[in-house]
Amino acid sequence: MSDQNSKTSKTSAIWGGRFAQGPSAVMEEINASVGFDARLFAQDIQGSIAHCTMLQAQGIISQEDGNAILEGLEKIATEIEAGDFQFSRALEDIHMNIEARLAELIGDAAGRLHTARSRNDQVATDLKLWIRDAIDATDEGLKALQEVLIKRAEEHAGTILPGFTHLQAAQPVTLGHHLLAYVEMLGRDRSRLSDARARLNECPLGSAALAGTSFPIDRDHTANALGFDRPTANSLDAVSDRDFALEFLSTLSIAAVHLSRMAEEVVIWTSEPFGFMRLSDDFSTGSSIMPQKRNPDAAELVRAKSGRVFGNLLGLLATMKGLPLAYGKDMQEDKEPVFDAADTMELCLAAMGGMFGSATFDTERMQNAAGQGFTTATDLADWLVKELGMAFRNAHHVTGELVKLAEEKGVGLEDLSIDDMKSVEASITDAVFDVLGVENSVTSRVSFGGTAPDNVKAQCKSARKRFL
Ligand code: ARG
């Protein structure tokens, strides 16, 4: 800020009419938001242009004043973009900074822009426009990550690894199938963003301070000009609603849960005992003391930053929960959590895309691990049901005994001899060995949504159509 230590005795040129003295330094500091809401400058100018054009069209201000305002606003946009704009904390926020500069540039006509408008409907409009863009950018980020994952899934449609429940080896699955699970999660995040966008897309501008206005404004005009579907229906609600910010944050929070779970798997898979995945050099970090280390810092940070996104949601929920209608200055605290969550997610999405796009998978190690821990026991039980007509519960019991036997002998199920098998269940035949390998196991799982390599190939195609 240009004037951190500004004299505070001067009353505000914009709202200071009834005050004999200006705010104390502390008052100015707690009240000012321009330090962060300057980020809304483009939306603020866009909103003002729409408002001004409407005021002209309705004959509420003259063409001449309107044109001067429009020219001034364009100039201010250029100044801010070029870094040539002097922001002033004494002017509180981005709205008043722009209005004050407009007055410097065009004189008295500037004062007509705020006709039939308040900062309350103005800021609600600005933030909606900002979040609408952020929704679109986040959607792009999610889509880009989906694309990386689908590509890797195509490469690894037939790569076998252990699937886990309780983080205990459960059944063999294919890596492509595992990666497509993430693609589905991210797809739901995108669909939630699109729902939130549709609900957000009503224009608050023209609700004025809280009660609407007596000027003959055309709210459809401004709504249209700003790409909203319609004007908001209730002025009290419009200036005090921050659901759109909460929905954005809650959607990002769920997406952050997904990224955090993926990140956790990266941490596990790249750990020495697992060794399923190796991050590329440009997504690994070293240790200052242990030369052998390749640390998955980016994954750990994605996992950690999810907490920060949830914190932003919880903070704003708490800010909003006790507010009576309509606007309260509490609501000025809505912006920082929104900006921080959007920035955090953008970075995390890029980091996940970078990690998954450049990692290599140790397919041999994965396949070996997939055969450990009797992971084809379910296949054996299913075979007993299908071939010997056993009830699944009996088959489960018989298989359990076979697992016990294999465990005692220190071998895998497929290494038991047919005589061993028959000692537990006399009617078992040689054909059972066809279902015991991990490859047999995964190729047999052709039910819709199952892990078979052919399914994965088909699902990759479908995912491309549905998401990219
Ligand atoms: N900087 C304020 C905010 O972000 C703008 C609205 C101020 N309105 C008011 N009545 N003081 O919420």
Q: How far apart are CA 339 and CA 440, in angstroms?
A: 50
The protein residue whose alpha carbon is closest to atom 7 in ligand 1 is 119
Position 97: which residue type?
Answer: N
pLDDT at 15: 81
Residue 321 CB coordination number (10 Å): 7
Task: Calculate mean pLDDT across residues 231-240.
Answer: 98
End-to-end CA gap in the chain: 43
Residue for token pair 């895309």: 353
416: DSSP letter: S
Report the run of H or E that residue 411 belongs to, with start and end: none
| pLDDT at residue 5 greater than cutoff 70 | no
Which one, of 245, 213, 243, 205, lies nearest residue 49 by Cα? Answer: 205
What pTM, to 2 d.p., does this model score?
A: 0.94
Which one, of 305, 298, 299, 316, lies nearest residue 344 by Cα? Answer: 305
Task: Calculate mean pLDDT across residues 36-64.
Answer: 98
> In the numeric block, which tokens belong to residue 128?
């909606």
Q: How far is the CA of 239 from the centre of ligand 1 (A)?
A: 10
Confidence of residue 286 (pLDDT cuts 50, 70, 90): confident
> In the numeric block, which tokens belong to residue 389?
């007509």
Torsion, CA 271, CA 272, CA 274, CA 280, rounded to 10? 60
Q: How far is the CA of 12 from the centre of ligand 1 (A)?
A: 14
| pLDDT at residue 7 greater than cutoff 70 | no
> Is 280 assigned a catalytic role?
no
The protein residue whose alpha carbon is closest to atom 11 in ligand 1 is 329
The protein residue whose alpha carbon is closest to atom 1 in ligand 1 is 93
Which one, of 250, 389, 400, lies nearest residue 310 by Cα? Answer: 250
Q: How far is the CA of 326 from the centre of ligand 1 (A)?
A: 12
Active-site residue identified among 24, 62, 194, 287:
287
Confidence of residue 159 (pLDDT cuts 50, 70, 90): very high
Task: Calculate mean pLDDT across residues 19-37.
Answer: 93
Mean pLDDT of the chain: 95
Residue 201 CB coordination number (10 Å): 17
Q: How far is the CA of 328 from the centre of ligand 1 (A)?
A: 8
pLDDT tens digit sequence for 64-100: 999 999 999 999 999 999 999 999 999 999 999 999 9
pLDDT tens digit sequence for 180-221: 999 999 999 999 999 999 999 999 999 999 999 999 999 999
Task: Calculate mean pLDDT across residues 439-448.
Answer: 95
> Which atom of ligand 1 lies closest to the CA of 33?
1
Q: Return the sign of the alpha-carbon dihedral for residues 194, 198, 200, 204.
A: positive
Position 431: which residue type?
Answer: A
> In the numeric block, which tokens belong to residue 384?
């007993």
Among 39, 87, 93, 239, name the best residue to mutate to test ligand 1's pocket (greatest count of ligand atoms within 8 A of Cβ).
93
Among 30, 123, 130, 323, name the best residue to mutate to test ligand 1's pocket (greatest count of ligand atoms within 8 A of Cβ).
123
Residues framing ligand 1 (Cβ under 6 A):
33, 37, 93, 119-120, 123, 327, 329, 331-332
Query: Is the link from the previous residue into 326 a cis peptide, with omega within 30 of 0?
Result: yes
Q: How far is the CA of 332 from the centre of ligand 1 (A)?
A: 6
pLDDT at 6: 45
Task: Calculate mean pLDDT across residues 443-447.
Answer: 96
Q: How far is the CA of 16 from the centre of ligand 1 (A)?
A: 15
pLDDT tens digit sequence for 299-314: 999 999 999 999 999 9
Active-site residue identified among 166, 214, 288, 447:
166
> Is 397 assigned a catalytic role?
no
Report CA-CA distances (Å) from 59 to 45, 64, 88, 127.
Answer: 21, 11, 33, 28
The whole-angstrom distance between residue 252's C-alpha and the CA centroid of its chain comes to: 4
Confidence of residue 9 (pLDDT cuts 50, 70, 90): low
Helix axes of 453-467 and 175-200: crossing angle, nearest 10 degrees: 20
Q: Return the sign of the alpha-carbon dihedral for residues 143, 148, 149, 150.
A: positive
The protein residue whose alpha carbon is closest to atom 4 in ligand 1 is 332
233: DSSP letter: S
| pLDDT at residue 10 greater than cutoff 90 | no
pLDDT tens digit sequence for 346-392: 999 999 999 999 999 999 999 999 999 899 999 999 999 999 999 99
